[in-house]
Amino acid sequence: MLAMFDKISFIGEQSLYVDLKQGVEIKNNILSSHVTIIDREKQLLGEISEIDGNRVKIKLLGEFQNGRLYSGIIRKPLLDSEVRPVNQEEIDIILGKTSENALILGSSPFYNGASVFFNINEFFGNHFAIFGNSGSGKSCGTARLIQNVFLNDNSKSYNANFILFDVSGEYSYAFSNLSSIDPNYNYRVFTTSDTNKDFEQLHIPLWLLNSSDLALLLMSNSHSQLPIVERMLHLARAFAEDSSTALAYKDHLIAKAIISVLFSDSSPARKKNDIFSIVETCTTQNFNLEAVITGVGYTRKFRECFNIDKFGTFTESILLTEYVTSFVNDKFDNYEPNPNVRYTLQDLEKALDFTLISEGWYKNENTYADAATVKVRLHSLVTGSYSKIFDYPGYVNTEQYLSGLLFKNGRKCQIVNINLDDMDDSVASVITKILTRIIFDFSKLIPNRGSVPFHIIVEEAHRYIKNDNDNYLIGYNIFERVAKEGRKYGVILGVISQRPVELSDTVISQCSNFLIFKTNHPRDEEYIKKMIPNINTDIVDKQKGLQSGTALAFGTAFKIPVIVKLEMPNPEPRSSNSDVIKYWGVTR
């Protein structure tokens, strides 16, 4: 391309036209090649976007200043500017080689396989997204991106915390040789399958879940179910405590529940059944069927106070009422139980039963359906196969739990794979949200804000990070909250998807860097053009012709949008197609 360009014939808002010199024969395809436009005051970067006879159209991309490239154009070139191909020094700047904290991403098909770099802080300090069709190289590209972090000789990432939600089980072995790079690097895989013996079982402490987590876990679908869930959680914590104050509070709760039944308009037989259900659900030393109640000169067991005489009343109603009311203490009306206590799903179910019976949810026709729905769903969880996930041995707090995920036998694990491939989407979605919320809340409490970065990578993100019902039901979506607030706390999302159109608009709008592999669906293409800030149609259209394993990379970590070929990861994820000929047994 040397001495190819003549004078500039036209300058527009974002582009210009340059005439080719007479007699110049174009032997190579110069489309998408970069050129430098130089005048007396400035040096600009352009890209050849069209060739029309002896004239080429050059799109203006940025400006070189003091050895740096700044994306975007404020000052336009002069008509007498010199136009020439970029030199090697400028190529190095374009491909990010001269950037601070540069990490290799792949190679450039346009510059003879020269390495393409990106700024580590700019990329991994912001939310990012990786899009591409099935078979486009998206999974291999994701694996290679993360592998490159640990192959970097210029910086050791001993304190990295990559949490990978692997919903298809593709990445289980993709980082299995991490320790061969450096013995201080370690990789760990948790699975929710009780039949997979290759990996460790995932367990989540039930007591780390808040009421919003429980509402999602129980698939609550109306606001009227939330008070039931909140009260259930409150009582589960209260019943799990064993201090003298907590025991007195339990007696207070049981007494108030019994009084509400005693003075209801139910029949004596119904009252008896309800009260017996209450004390069987929540038993204390003072409230159980065999508890001894002392009268004047005689005693009765608690159960004996409910014998019904010929007039249809309890024989010991006065003794019973005096006994029960003696445990009511108004100071407990605003009592908040200790949230840092261990309880099980069975304890939660007892707390729910106590809530529904003692507060009359079953008796009100307006609340009966909500009560029954929550009860059935909780019981299904208690008796179902997913209950094992919440069967955590011993009490741990949030910090201890996260340390248990990130450390094994005293060794730090930089990548933790949460393999969810055996779970239904409805449950797997909640698991990802619960763990993300736990990490986010923990990070907000770290005194030195952002000093413990977490990178939450969600594969097949369109199945979980979507425009769902969370905002309506609980007032927020945890992924959208992390997208808007997580960066300042060091909680970064990596969104991997083959259907970006199904993703949460809020999350995508907060991503600063993108790797776009081949994406064919028109709706996905239009969505990318619409949702991604500071991107134009020409850039997105480039991905249509990409080969597998090649991506369009752009964002704050890159000088300008670049096409990059990523090396195959080693080891590779299990994302390839089935070898049909091999497994059919076809002879050749």
- The pLDDT value recorded for residue 45 is 95
Region of poorest pLDDT, from 196-200, 203-207, 321-325? 196-200
**Cα–Cα distance measured from residue 267 to residue 289, given in angstroms and rounded to the nearest whole number:** 20
With pLDDT > 90 as the criterion, what percentage of the chain qualifies? Answer: 62
pLDDT-derived band at 96 (thresholds 50, 70, 90) equals very high
**Cα–Cα distance measured from residue 127 to residue 242, given in angstroms and rounded to the nearest whole number:** 44
- The pLDDT value recorded for residue 29 is 72
pTM over 0.95: no
User: Residue 295 pLDDT > 70, yes or no?
Assistant: yes
**Cα–Cα distance measured from residue 233 to residue 573, given in angstroms and rounded to the nearest whole number:** 41
**pLDDT tens track for 508-543:** 999 999 999 988 777 777 777 676 555 556 666 666
- The pLDDT value recorded for residue 531 is 61
Give the relative orientation of helices 244-262 and 317-325 as an angle to the nearest 10 degrees: 140
- The pLDDT value recorded for residue 532 is 59
**Cα–Cα distance measured from residue 403 to residue 389, given in angstroms and rounded to the nearest whole number:** 18
Segments of 108-243 assigned E as strands: 115-119, 128-131, 162-166, 187-191, 200-201
**pLDDT tens track for 371-380:** 889 999 999 9
- The pLDDT value recorded for residue 544 is 67
Instruction: Give the three-state DSSP class for 529.
Output: helix
pLDDT-derived band at 362 (thresholds 50, 70, 90) equals low
Segments of 232-379 assigned E as strands: 292-294, 299-301
**Cα–Cα distance measured from residue 150 to residue 182, given in angstroms and rounded to the nearest whole number:** 8
| Domains of the chain, start order | 5-86 (2.40.10.170), 119-202+396-584 (3.40.50.300), 211-385 (no CATH)
pLDDT-derived band at 145 (thresholds 50, 70, 90) equals very high
**Cα–Cα distance measured from residue 35 to residue 46, given in angstroms and rounded to the nearest whole number:** 5
- The pLDDT value recorded for residue 161 is 98
